[in-house]
Amino acid sequence: MRTTRKGYLWLASICAGLMLLPSPSRSQEKAASPLSEDNLTPAEFTDIVKEAWTYLKEETDNYQKAIGEKSEFETTAEFEKRIVEARQQYLAKIMKYMKDKKFDQRVLGVLLKASLVQYDADNQLYAVSCPIVIDAPYNIPSILTEVPSNPYLALADSIKMGYRTSSIYLKFTPYFRWQVGRDVAKSAKADEENVSFKIRFKVQMGQGEGRKGAKFSIVPQQILLINQKTNTTYWQQSLR
């Protein structure tokens, strides 16, 4: 009987000890699982932003049609009230779309292949290039499409084969100068096919300046130089 009682006491003490062990925090749980949208190809990212831009364009067009012009049988007060109500409905739709798509939470990481051009052993500087661009929506009179000013990325329009295009590109002149020790540089060069720049973006949609049209912002949050295979971050810079 004593042996059984001791056994119960021992088991109870073990259970109590387990209950006192710290449970993983939410931040630790998040860190353990990589972001599902953190390794997008440029084409995958383009699909996401163009879908959102198309929705914004359609709703902006509908809003402008709904407003129209003041009719001859409409008082100024009635016209102004109609404008206010139409704009409230328009902005509510955009906000709902943003929440439905979780653009208030999503951070989209895009991988752009990097080229390790030349290492300067005397100054421990690696010249790195990245000719890859990301196709993006362009500006139209009703929608201002922008990449906010920052040191590394910009948005530019161009004409390709007679068609207007818009691209997000890395604005190195002409190379990114990566300060790195020789051993790490040699290791990166040996695995160059897996070295990429990663750009993390947020997408924002809203009202244009002076309530004219809409604004579609592709906002860089962070730039990194990484080895995707080894999950190594060589360099990073916040852009917020």
Lowest mean pLDDT among 18-27, 71-80, 115-124, 199-208: 18-27
Whether cis (ω within 30° of 0) applies to the bond prior to 141 is: no
Buried b (16+ CB within 10 A) or exposed e, 23-38: eeeeeeeeeeeeeebe
The residue ranges of every structural domain in the chain are 35-238
Distance CA 117, CA 195 (A): 12
Q: Which of 123, 134, 124 is nearest to 197 (CA)?
A: 134
Instruction: State the angle between helix axes of 76-100 and 42-67 in degrees (0 to 180), rounded to the nearest 10.
Output: 160
Q: The pTM is what? A: 0.80
Model confidence band, residue 209 (pLDDT cutoffs 50, 70, 90): confident
Residue pointed to by tokens 């831009």 = 53
Element (H, E) at 186: helix 182-190
pLDDT the model gives residue 66:
87
Q: Which of 154, 114, 109, 149 is nearest to 136 (CA)?
A: 154
Whole-number percent of the chain with pLDDT over 70:
84
Model confidence band, residue 30 (pLDDT cutoffs 50, 70, 90): very low
Total Cβ atoms within 10 A of residue 66: 14
Question: Residue 22: beta bridge partners?
Answer: none
pLDDT digits (tens, 9 = 90+) for 34-67: 456 899 999 999 999 999 999 999 999 999 898 8
pLDDT digits (tens, 9 = 90+) for 129-182: 999 999 999 889 999 999 999 999 999 988 777 788 899 999 998 999 999 999
User: Checking phi first, is residue 51 left (phi over 0); if not, alpha (psi -120 to 50) or beta?
Assistant: alpha
